[in-house]
């Protein structure tokens, strides 16, 4: 576990890159085990590659690119299912960030 400093998270890629990689990798593995792997991979490569992890008001959140479902072209899936899996994936990443930085919710 890494000591977390919200101010250092502003330059997260310089200060916390290994921790970010770990959180994203663990979230991917969890999602890949629980959902359609093609859909999870497509979301990972076409949406989350342009996402931005943020730490605001004492919480992690994932800022997604504009119109994220429009980016999803590698798989054929209805918007409702894609949106649900994307939302769950974002929650998983946020949870992994809390875990990696030792900020789990009570």
Domain ranges for the chain, please list them: 6-100
**pTM, 2 dp:** 0.91
User: b vs e for 13-41, b when ≥16 Cβ sit within 10 Å of the residue's Cβ?
Assistant: eeebeebbebbbebbbebbeeebeeebbe
Tell me: pLDDT of 83 over 50. Answer: yes
Tell me: pLDDT of 106 over 70. Answer: no
Q: For 62-80, what is the mean pLDDT?
A: 92
């Amino acid at each position: 576990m890494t000591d977390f400093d919200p101010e250092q998270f502003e330059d997260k890629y310089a200060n916390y890159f290994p921790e970010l990689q770990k959180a994203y990798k663990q979230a991917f593995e969890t999602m890949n085990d629980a959902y359609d792997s093609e859909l999870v991979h497509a979301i990972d490569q076409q949406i989350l590659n342009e996402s931005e992890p943020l730490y605001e008001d004492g919480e992690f959140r994932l800022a997604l690119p504009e119109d994220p479902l429009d980016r999803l072209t590698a798989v054929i899936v209805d918007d409702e299912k894609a949106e649900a899996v994307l939302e769950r994936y974002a929650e998983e990443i946020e949870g992994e960030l809390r875990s990696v930085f030792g900020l789990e919710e009570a």
